[in-house]
Copies of this chain bind each other. A is one copy, B any other.
Amino acid sequence: MRSHYCGEVNESLIGQEVTLCGWVNRRRDLGGVIFLDLRDREGIVQVVYDPDIEDVFALANTLRNEFCVKVTGKVRPRPEGQINKEMASGGIELLGLQLEILNAAAPLPLDFNQQNSEEQRLRFRYLDLRRPEMSEKLKFRAKVTNEVRRFMEEAGFMDVETPILTAATPEGARDYLVPSRTHKGKFFALPQSPQLFKQLLMMSGVDRYYQIVKCFRDEDLRADRQPEFTQIDIETSFMSADQVMAVTEQMIRQLFTKLMNIDLGDFPRMTYEEAMRRFGSDKPDLRIPLELVDVAEQVKTVDFKVFAGPANDDNGRVAAIRVPAGADKFSRKQIDELGKFVGIYGAKGLAWMKINDRAAGLEGVQSPVAKFFSAEQMEALLAQTNAESGDILFFGADNKVVVTEAMGALRIKLGEDLGLVADEWRPLWVVDFPMFEEADGRAHALHHPFTAPSNATAAELEANPYGALSDAYDMVLNGCEVGGGSVRIHDQTMQATVFRILGISDEEAREKFGFLLDALQYGAPPHAGLAFGLDRLVMLMCGADTIRDVMAFPKTTTAACPLTDAPGKANPEQLVELGIALVAKEDAK
């Protein structure tokens, strides 16, 4: 129907007649002339209707916002004063010659000129997506997936589809279940990831696999999660961790160069141990120039149990964050609020010191806890933290986990509150994760049970599970984990050992993962892989506030869709066919 997109009309077409289709973005009547901003996917063009062409002018006069129209007109330069250099089409306008109303529009339930509630935006998503800031995000996402695919194909990766209706997967979150009609009383699970299938594909000899694929987790949706999300899923045979990191790092770098003209450079690597020690996080945001400094050595002998206790405990940690020139940036009230903030992470309080005069030593320190320090102790502490006059120090002292988490979170908060987050891209790899962490008296896999140890035989692993490091790697960008992966176990004995350490009985292992254990005995190749969270990656790249803004039809935080009213009621016959019944709410308690 059209000859051009709106965004394609520019000076090169002056004098020509073009036909455009799109929506009335705005209509203004000025000096007896109608000015129309016509919008389509590619941009906006100004159309002018003169009263000379009577019937067309009369029709143009009936247009309201968001009418869908077809316009034929002649491209001409805009008058001097009206040139808009911000717009691709800002140098020209269309003299409207013909006009066809393809569809009228009732007044919109969303006002594009103001903030609309999330609920309203989702209910009328098809209108919300008309806003250029939203449609640009969808377009950007499509470009990302297209570039990813192009890269992966060129690198010899093969796109293979894995099932959506499958067995429960081992990621550990809650599965979405799908009752089977042909096998009543049984359920499919929607995959939390195609982990086992991609490992099986390696055993099939696919060699290099990728897929951009939907995954599902029935979790409570705080923290900007969605019931269904999209993964760039990758697996390779006969590649080391270094090689997988190299190829996937290259992919991300190429995305940034091609789509944003940004060179991310080589990604530095940091061990998990260093990340937790210096940044209190396994996904450190390196844009923030604050660090955790361990001061246990310096406070071991201080006559203050809150410090000395953890400092003398193998499971304890005492760490400081120094905010340069921060002393006069925090009132008592503000510090109290920071204390409440670290409380969320289990910290029982937040000690602080303002360094009013570094040269004055203990005397120059303003702090409720200064009194517990001798001059020498204070000097050692100030030296260790590199404190200078005008700085403020915050302290966490407790068991390792609490201090690391709380001070890691405080570091981010201070960085954001004080505007210290640098406007830059700071990617890195976090490596050398422990294989297992202990909680509730038993071992848990830090990644998943199929991750291979990097430096241990099965016997060594069994002898000292908490000493073993895994061959896993996370890609972190500006404090977000955008991807994670590992070398997988391809040896049946090793896999059985890991299951045993995790307290998974042979019986349970066989029941849940018997097919994987079986598959390992038929010449399974060494293999490794990685998965990126596409939604989060796109969100970061296009600076969106939430992953909902880079999904066409996201769910609310209660996992509902105000547009289609999903989930909805099932009709009773369907439930009978499926062999299930609803449990009344009272009974369910």
Residues of A within 8 A of B (CB): 1-2, 5, 21-24, 39-41, 66-68, 70, 102-106, 108, 125-127, 129-130, 135, 138-139, 141-142, 145-146, 149, 153, 158-168, 174-190, 196-197, 200-201, 203-208, 214, 216, 218, 220, 227-228, 230, 237-240, 490-491, 515, 519-526, 551-553, 555, 558-561, 563-570, 574, 576-583, 585, 588
User: Told that A5-B207, A66-B523, A162-B553 touch, could you supply 12 new A-B pairs with CB distance under 8 A?
Assistant: A2-B238, A41-B208, A67-B523, A125-B200, A130-B205, A149-B149, A163-B553, A174-B574, A176-B178, A178-B567, A183-B567, A579-B583
Identify 29 residue pairs between A and B in the complex whose beta-carbon atoms are under 8 Å apart, listed by A's number.
Answer: A23-B205, A39-B205, A66-B522, A102-B238, A102-B526, A103-B520, A125-B204, A127-B522, A129-B201, A129-B206, A130-B205, A164-B190, A166-B564, A167-B564, A167-B567, A174-B181, A177-B574, A177-B578, A180-B567, A183-B558, A184-B585, A185-B582, A186-B570, A188-B567, A189-B566, A189-B568, A214-B214, A515-B565, A580-B581
Which residue of chain B has its CB nearest to the CB of A67? B523
Q: Which of the residues B522, B568, B581 comes within 8 Å of A168, measured between beta carbons?
A: B568
| Bound: A159/B144 CA distance, A | 10
| Bound: A167/B203 CA distance, A | 37
Q: Which of the residues B66, B149, B197, B218 comes within 8 Å of A553, measured between beta carbons?
A: B197
Chain B positions within 8 Å of A561 at CB level: 163, 166-167
Q: Is A183 in contact with B559, judged by CB distance below 8 angstroms?
A: yes
Q: Is B567 in contact with A214, judged by CB distance below 8 angstroms?
A: no
Q: Given the known A-B contacts A553-B163, A561-B167, A580-B581, are A41 and B146 also in contact in the complex, defined by CB atoms under 8 Å? A: no
| Bound: A87/B486 CA distance, A | 36
Chain B positions within 8 Å of A227 at CB level: 165
Q: Is A206 in contact with B135, judged by CB distance below 8 angstroms?
A: yes
Q: Is A515 in contact with B564, judged by CB distance below 8 angstroms?
A: yes
Smallest CB–CB gap between A304 and chain B, Å? 46
Q: Is A569 in contact with B187, judged by CB distance below 8 angstroms?
A: yes
Smallest CB–CB gap between A37 and chain B, Å? 14
Interface centre among A23, A129, A552 (most CB of B within 10 A): A552
Chain B positions within 8 Å of A186 at CB level: 567-570
| Bound: A204/B240 CA distance, A | 45
Copies in the complex: 2
Q: Is B581 in contact with A40, judged by CB distance below 8 angstroms?
A: no
Chain B positions within 8 Å of A524 at CB level: 68, 103
Q: Which of the residues B161, B553, B576 comes within 8 Å of A230, measured between beta carbons?
A: B161
Q: Is A40 in contact with B207, judged by CB distance below 8 angstroms?
A: yes
Chain B positions within 8 Å of A523 at CB level: 23-24, 66-68, 102-105
Q: Is B129 in contact with A142, judged by CB distance below 8 angstroms?
A: no
Q: Is B184 in contact with A588, judged by CB distance below 8 angstroms?
A: yes
| Bound: A458/B116 CA distance, A | 36
Q: Is B566 in contact with A588, judged by CB distance below 8 angstroms?
A: no
Smallest CB–CB gap between A483 and chain B, Å? 19
Chain B positions within 8 Å of A197 at CB level: 552-553
Smallest CB–CB gap between A510 and chain B, Å? 11
| Bound: A135/B208 CA distance, A | 13
Q: Is A581 in contact with B583, judged by CB distance below 8 angstroms?
A: yes
Q: Is A201 in contact with B581, judged by CB distance below 8 angstroms?
A: no
Which residue of chain B has its CB nearest to the CB of A65? B523
Q: Which of the residues B23, B108, B146, B520 comes within 8 Å of A149, measured between beta carbons?
A: B146
Q: Which of the residues B105, B162, B165, B564 comes within 8 Å of A566, measured between beta carbons?
A: B165
Chain B positions within 8 Å of A559 at CB level: 165, 180-183
Q: Is B177 in contact with A178, judged by CB distance below 8 angstroms?
A: yes
Chain B positions within 8 Å of A168 at CB level: 568
Q: Is A491 in contact with B200, judged by CB distance below 8 angstroms?
A: no
Q: Is A160 in contact with B552, judged by CB distance below 8 angstroms?
A: yes
Q: Is A21 in contact with B583, judged by CB distance below 8 angstroms?
A: no
| Bound: A174/B579 CA distance, A | 15
Q: Given the known A-B contacts A103-B524, A553-B163, A559-B182, are A187 and B40 also in contact in the complex, defined by CB atoms under 8 Å? A: no
Q: Is A551 in contact with B167, judged by CB distance below 8 angstroms?
A: no
| Bound: A126/B200 CA distance, A | 6
Chain B positions within 8 Å of A526 at CB level: 1, 102-103
Q: Is B560 in contact with A522, judged by CB distance below 8 angstroms?
A: no
Chain B positions within 8 Å of A581 at CB level: 580-583
Q: Which of the residues B68, B160, B164, B560 comes within 8 Å of A216, measured between beta carbons?
A: B164
| Bound: A321/B184 CA distance, A | 46
